[in-house]
Structure 1
């Protein structure tokens, strides 16, 4: 019986080996497929994150561009209005353009309040206050309303207009640094 058991055991081990190798091959294939799927999912997550970060960066850049443009336009209209007051020829069209520029600036500043980081918001707020004060001074001078402060005059308004350039330049510098464009 010894002689006939050995071939049976060998055959059994051969069959068992064949079955185990098939199972092992299947198991390894499943693990490889799971790793592939996991890698693909990780790639999709990374791509979605990158797209979201890119979209957020683009939205922030667009916000900066619109705020900067609106601030510069508002400043230009204040400057134009100052010249018209100095020449004594302020027109309704100039008043309307100034008011439109003010509204546009306020809209862009309001949007920035919800979107930009604090360091940019701080300087944007300073620019907004400076331009708003200047607007108030020029409108009071245009309407013949007595000044709120003793030094409210066309000369003082000119100084404010020139000072606003420094604030606008600082705001642009902080925005560029925030975007990583400038050191």
Structure 2
């Protein structure tokens, strides 16, 4: 090789090396940027998933609180109505309060049917049916003239049923608490 060619080859290799180095640096930066964007997208997706789960859990918890409160109020009004029947002091206000408690419970129960897990809904269904059964008995006992007395339609039996609701309400509350992870099963 001649003395003029060697410097040209060296210069050419230097230029190619400089350009290749710039291209490699740019490619590596683009790859690092793409990895960072992908990591950010995954993190945002995970945060959205976590937020959705948290909102769903909060909605279920809120549903449980409303249903538990409405069930207790309904049971309380059934008991109050029973006392009014027993003493002969049933008024339109007492009837209205019972009907309002029933409507509120039905609204919370309807919401629960669309929101809560099936295993919890099974327990809630039992409470709902029992509350409404007692409501029917008490309303029939309040009617004029009183219906032909059946075994489960006396004031004493109605009171026994109202008081028996506490066990079902307690089991319902326990099941709801387990469902949201605030209570563990007892050994």
Identify the TM-score tier after normalising by the shorter chain: over 0.9
| Alignment partner, residue 34 of structure 2 | 34
**TM-score of the superposed pair, with normalisation by structure 1:** 0.96
Structure with greater helix share of residues: 1
List alignment gaps of at least 5 residues for structure 1: none
Structure 1 residue matching 2:70: 3-state secondary structure? helix
What TM-score do you get using the length of structure 2 for normalisation? 0.94
Q: CA deviation at 1:120?
A: 1.0
What SS does the aligned partner of 2:90 have? coil
Q: Give distance in 2, aligned partners of 1:73 and 1:151.
A: 23
2: CA distance, partners of 1:37 / 1:16: 31
Count the aligned residue pairs. Answer: 183
In structure 1, the residue corresponding to 2:152 is in which secondary structure? coil
- 3-state SS in 1 of match to 2:4: helix
Instruction: Give the match for residue 154 of structure 1.
Output: 155
Shift of 1:2: 2.7
| SS of corresponding position for 1:149 | coil
Residues 148 and 49 of structure 1, relative CA distance in 2, 3 Å threshold: farther
Q: In structure 2, what is the equivalent of residue 134 of structure 1? A: 134
Do the aligned partners of 2:120 and 2:172 also contact (CA within 8 Å) in 1? yes
- Taking structure 1 as reference, are residues 80 and 125 closer, same or farther at Cα in structure 2, changes over 3 Å only? same
User: What is aligned with 1:96?
Assistant: 96
| Residues 26 and 175 of structure 1, relative CA distance in 2, 3 Å threshold | same
* Correspondence 1:166 to 2:171: no
- What are the ranges of 5 or more consecutive residues in structure 2 without an aligned counterpart? none
- What is the CA RMSD across the aligned residues, in angstroms? 1.2
